[in-house]
Amino acid sequence: MNTTCIMCPMGCALTVEEKGGVVTVVGNGCPRGEKYGKAEFSHPERVVTTLLKGLYGGVVSVKTDGPIPKDKIADLLAWAASYRLDHAVKTGDVIAESPVSCGANVVATSDFKGK
Amino acid sequence: MKKFDVVIIGGGPAGMAAALGAREEGATVALLERDDRLGGILNQCIHNGFGLHYFGEELTGPEYAKRFRDKVLSDQNIHVFLEAMVLSLTEQKVVRAISPTEGLIEIQAGSVVLAMGCRERSAGAIALAGTRPAGIYTAGMAQRLCNVEGYLVGKEVVILGSGDIGLIMARRMTSEGAKVKLVAEIMPFSSGLKRNIVQCLNDYDIPLRYSTTVTRVTGKERLTGVYVAPVDEKMQPVLEQEEYIPCDTLLLSVGLIPENDLLTGTSVEMSRVTSGAVVDEYRQTSAEGIFSAGNVLHVHDLVDNVSEEAYIAGRSAAKYVKGELPFSVTVSVTPASGVRYALPQKVHTGEGKVKLYFRVDKVYRGRTVVVTSAGEVIKRKKTLVMAPGEMQNIEIDKSLIKGDVCIYTEE
Ligand SMILES: Cc1cc2nc3c(=O)[nH]c(=O)nc-3n(C[C@H](O)[C@H](O)[C@H](O)COP(=O)(O)OP(=O)(O)OC[C@H]3O[C@@H](n4cnc5c(N)ncnc54)[C@H](O)[C@@H]3O)c2cc1C
Ligand code: SF4
C-alpha cells in the first residue's frame, strides 16, 4: 500500500507491506511515520462529519465523537442520508448511539430548532 | 448618530475575536454583520480540523464559531447588529450600514476594525473560455448551498484547483452521492494541506492531476462537460492533448480575494501582493485608528491564526481610543529570496517580541529562514519543509531592530 504520512509537514511517501504476518514501512523520515503507516495499513480510522436532514426541513451538521473504522464510513453515510431528525438538538447533543455499529456516537455540531 | 469606542465590520472569526480583544481593554464595541448570524465562513465549514492550535482540540467550523459567539453574545458591552450591511466608511471613522430592522445605522467610531473576510475568484476572474451554462460554482458557494441550505449542486463533478476548499468539497460532494471525476491543478503542487489530499481525495479514489487546467466548458442551459489539458512550463495549455470530460458541475477553487471594496476612496495604503491593507504589528493601517485583521488583511489557511491576529487588532483598536497605543519609529519589513510576502509590513522599534507571518513562493525543503535588520542578521531558523499553502511565522525581538527588516530564505 502507498500512502502519505500526515503527521508532520514533511509528508513522507510511505510504502507499507505485509510479508508473513510482519508489516514493514518504507519511506518514513522518522518513527512516527512507521506508527502511522502501520495503523493506516491494519486499522485506518477517520472522524466523519456530515449533514442530517430534518423531518420537517432544514439541516443540522454532525460528526462522530471519535474516529471510526474506514470501512464503516460508507455505511454510516448511507445511514445519515436516510435518517430524518424529528426534534430540536443543541451543539454537542448525541443524536444516535453507534449507528451501523460504527463504534462512535453521532453528535450535533450546530443547533437545530426542529425544522 | 450612535457612538462606540470600537466598531468592527464583519462578524466572522476575525470580527468576533477582535470584539473580545477590544473588550479586554474595556472598550464599548459595535459588531456589524450582514448575515443573520455570527460566524462567517465557519458556519459552512462542517468538517473538522479547526482549533488545534487555539483550543488544543479538533473542532468543526460551527463548533469553533460557537465558542466565540457564546462569549460575544453574553457580553453586554458588545452591541451586535445582525443583517447590517456596512455601505461606507470614512476616514473620520463614520460607519454607515443598513439593516431591515433598524434602517440606516450611522455610527461615529473611536476606531474601526476591518474584518470583512474574502470572496472567491469566479469564472469571470480567471477568464474561463466557452459558454456560461448553469452548473459552474465557486467551491465556497457550493459549500454554502450544500452545508447551510442542504442542496446538492450536481451529480458529476470536475473541480478546478486543489486548494483546501476544493479538496474538502470533493469529499463532501462524494459523501452526498455525487461522482467527482477529477481535480485539476494548474500548478505542479497543491496549495492544500497534505492531510486533505489523503483524507479527501485518496480515501475516495478521486484522481488529482497536477499541471493541468480546464480549457473550455460546454453546454447550453446546463453544463455538459469540460475540456482539460496539461500545461507547459509557461503555464500554457497543450491543446493537442486536450481531453473531454462529461460532467454537469464545475467547481472553481482558484483563490480568494480580500473583500476591501469599503476602502476605495480612503487613503488606506494597500499591498499589491496580499490585496489587503499595509499594517504595522498592531494591525493598524496607514489611516490612523483603522485596523484590519483576518482574511480581509491577507488570506489565511488556518482560522486559529485569524483569531490570534484579530485579537491583537481588537486590543490595539481599544488602546488607540484610550491613547495608549505606543508609537515610535517604524521600520519596513520586506520579503526577499523565496518569501512572497511578510506581514506586518511595518514594525515599531522598542521592547517586546513581534511575530512575522510570511508565505514562501514554492515548496522548500531544509531551508533556513533569515531575518536581518539594518543589514545585520537578527534571527535564523532552520526549517524542514515550507509550502506556499502553509503560512509560516518567525518571532523576533524588537530590541534588536535597528533599521529596516528583511526576511528571506537560504540554503
Ligand atoms: C469557502 C471558504 C472555506 C474555508 N475553509 C477553511 C477550512 O476548512 N479551514 C480553515 O482553517 N480555514 C478555512 N477557510 C479560511 C477561513 O475562512 C478563515 O480562516 C476564516 O473564516 C476567516 O475569518 P474572517 O473573519 O476573516 O472572514 P469570514 O469568515 O469570511 O467572515 C467575514 C464576515 O464579514 C461579513 N461581512 C463582509 N462584508 C461586510 C459588510 N460590508 N458589512 C457587514 N458584514 C460584512 C461577512 O458576512 C462574514 O460573516 C475557508 C475560507 C473560505 C472562503
Ligand atoms: S514520517 Fe516522520 S518526518 Fe515523515 S511525514 Fe511522517 S512524521 Fe514527518
**CA B293 to CA B286: how far, in whole Å?**
14
Torsional class of A13: left (φ above 0), alpha (ψ -120 to 50), beta (otherwise): beta
Q: Looking at the 3D structure of chain B, how many domains does it have?
A: 3
**CA dihedral of A91, A51, B203, B253, whole degrees rounded to 10:** -100
Q: What's the distance, Cα to Cα, between the start and end of chain B in Å?
A: 58
Q: What are the angstrom distances between the C-alpha of A70 and each of A41, A111, B350?
A: 11, 27, 53
Which residue carries 460508507 as its cell?
A: A74
Question: pTM for this one?
Answer: 0.92
Please check whether residue B123 is in contact with residue B251, taking contact to mean a CB–CB distance below 8 angstroms: no
- The CATH number assigned to the domain holding B203 equals 3.50.50.60
Which of A3, A32, A51 best tests the B interface by mutation, with the highest count of B CBs <10 A? A51
Asked whether the predicted pLDDT for residue B35 surpasses 80, the reply is: yes
* Among the listed residues B172, B148, B142, B45, the one whose alpha carbon sits nearest the alpha carbon of residue A112: B148
Q: Specify the residue with its C-alpha closest to ligand 2, atom 8.
A: A8
Residues paired with A112 in a beta bridge: A89
At A89 the pLDDT is: 97
The number of angstroms, rounded, from the C-alpha of A23 to the middle of its chain's C-alpha atoms is 23
Residue B132: per-residue pLDDT: 83
B290 in the same domain as B201: no
In angstroms, how far is CA B89 from the centroid of its own chain?
21
Q: Which amino acid is at B366?
A: G
Beta strand A84-85 with A49-54: parallel, antiparallel or unpaired?
Answer: parallel
Q: How confident is the model at residue A115 (pLDDT cuts 50, 70, 90)?
A: low
Collect all residues from A whose CB is shorter than 8 A from any CB in B: 3-4, 6, 8-11, 46-47, 49-51, 53, 58-59, 61, 63, 70, 73, 77, 81, 91, 109-110
Q: What rounded mean pLDDT belongs to chain B?
A: 94
Domain definitions of chain A by residue range: 2-43, 49-108
Q: Are residues B390 and B269 in the same domain?
A: no
**Structure letter (DSSP) for residue A89:** B
Query: Phi and psi of B66, rounded to 5°?
Result: -65, -40
- Residue in chain B closest to A57 (alpha carbons) equals B150
Domain carrying residue B345: 328-411
Q: Give yes or no: residues B233 and B267 share one domain.
A: no
Residues B344 and B319 in one domain: no
pLDDT in tens, A26-52: 999 899 999 999 999 999 999 999 999
**Number of neighbouring beta carbons within 10 Å of residue B386:** 24
B295-305 residue pLDDT tens: 999 999 889 99
Banded pLDDT at B52 (limits 50, 70, 90)? confident
For chain B, helix, strand, coil in percent to 5 are 25, 35, 40
pLDDT at B94: 97
Average pLDDT for B236-256: 94
Which residues neighbour B100 within 8 Å (Cβ) at sequence distance 6 or greater? B83
> What fold, for A49-108?
CPE0013-like fold (3.10.530)
- Mutating which of B45, B63, B302 best tests the A interface, going by the most A Cβ atoms within 10 A? B63
Give the mean pLDDT of B277-284: 97
- B250 and B270 housed in the same domain: no
Among residues B266, B300, B327, the one where a domain terminates is B327
| Single residue among B254, B287, B303 that ends a domain in this structure | B254
Question: Residue B81: is its pLDDT beyond 90?
Answer: yes
pLDDT confidence band for A6 (50 / 70 / 90): confident
Do B135 and B244 sit in the same domain of this protein? yes
Confidence of residue B70 (pLDDT cuts 50, 70, 90): very high
pLDDT category at B194 given cuts 50, 70, 90 is confident
Q: Rounded mean pLDDT of B252-259?
A: 91
The confidence score (pLDDT) of residue B190 equals 86
The answer to whether the Cβ–Cβ distance between B175 and A109 falls below 8 Å is no
Q: Which ligand is in closest contact with the Cα of A11?
A: 2
Q: From start to end of B103-224, where are the E strands?
A: 103-114, 118-120, 129-130, 136-138, 156-160, 179-184, 208-209, 212-218
Report pLDDT for A107: 98
List CB contacts (< 8 A) between B385 and chain A.
9-11
Residue where a domain terminates, one of B227, B254, B281: B254
Calculate how far, in angstroms, residue B301's C-alpha sits from the geometric centre of ligand 2: 21
3 state DSSP class of B199: helix
Q: Kindly state whether residues B228 and B317 are assigned to the same domain.
A: no
* Position B298, amino acid: H
pLDDT in tens, B312-339: 999 999 999 999 998 788 999 999 999 9
Centroid of ligand 2 to alpha carbon of B163 (angstroms): 22
For the segment B247-268, the average pLDDT, to the nearest whole number, is 92
Grouping H, G, I as helix, E, B as strand and the rest as coil, residue A102 is coil
